[in-house]
Amino acid sequence: MGHGIAQVAAQVGKYEVNMRDVEQRFIDGGMSMIRDSLQRFVKKAQLSEAEMNAILARIHPMLGLKEAVSNADLIIEAIPENLELKKTTFKEVDGYAPPHAIIASNTSSVSITEMASATKRPEKVCGMHFFNPPQLMKLVEVIRGARTSDETVETVLNIAHKMEKETVVVKKDSPGFIVNRILIPALNEAVALHWEGVADKEDIDKAIKLGLNWPMGPLMLLDYIGLDTTLAIADVLTKELDPKFHPTTGLKQMVKAQMLGRKTGKGFYDWTQK
């Protein structure tokens, strides 16, 4: 998600973007995917070569966290759905970022309030949840923590609109926010249908596409989201809200087998061939 958000910020918002990761290979991979994405826009005559090069020039890849955030106005965290890792990162960022900077999380389920508690600026912390792939998906959920200020919410909404996103405001910091609280049970049931042998994956996806008018079937969508990410969200919903969100055995088994979807080349579908 991180490289996609960086691309949208630079391409559509025309912001200067520091893109930071913990290893050079991740940064190189992110920049490669951004170039590939921009080249597709060029091939479709939606961007010129000059515009593509200008966008790339606005993205500054780096390894140093202090360097990345010390001159930032908005920091968007897009690391794995691990609360303790996120809190550690937020504490570090809080120490390096300028006092006026907003710290936003792209989390799809983790408590904004709890992440904000790791900082000395909880009023400047909120959720800014993009959807995958950020280059194409129009929605951003903006989530209030318990102490998020109105000014922070307004600023983040304005930035999302400058990136040409549609926004919804989640007024209470509730696990799963809006979309995932509704989506995860549906995806979980699709996995259960497949795991129980009720129908083939193609027919499950076809049924939901044609029966509910989804643009993509639930099992293919799981491959795009990542089965590990889906499991992490389901675990949070189960723990924080209700046992009814408990992930199905099939989902847990596929994650154990590292059949995570596109990111590993194999999930419900085979992604090793282009």
Active centre residues (catalytic) = 108, 129, 141, 180
The CA distance from 6 to 13, in Å, is 10
Q: Token pair of 131, please?
A: 């959807």
The CA distance from 195 to 250, in Å, is 6
DSSP 22: S
Phi, psi at 136, each rounded to 5°? -115, -35
The CA distance from 244 to 247, in Å, is 9
The CA distance from 227 to 267, in Å, is 8
Buried b (16+ CB within 10 A) or exposed e, 77-87: bbbebeeeebb
Contact 170, 139 (CB under 8 A): no
In angstroms, what CA-CA distances link 263 with 36, 138, 228, 266?
A: 16, 22, 10, 8
The CA distance from 44 to 163, in Å, is 20
Question: What residues contact residue 66 under an 8 Å CB cut-off, 6+ apart?
Answer: 96
- Nearest CA to 227 among 170, 272, 267? 267
Residues facing 17 on adjacent strands = 59
Contact 102, 125 (CB under 8 A): yes
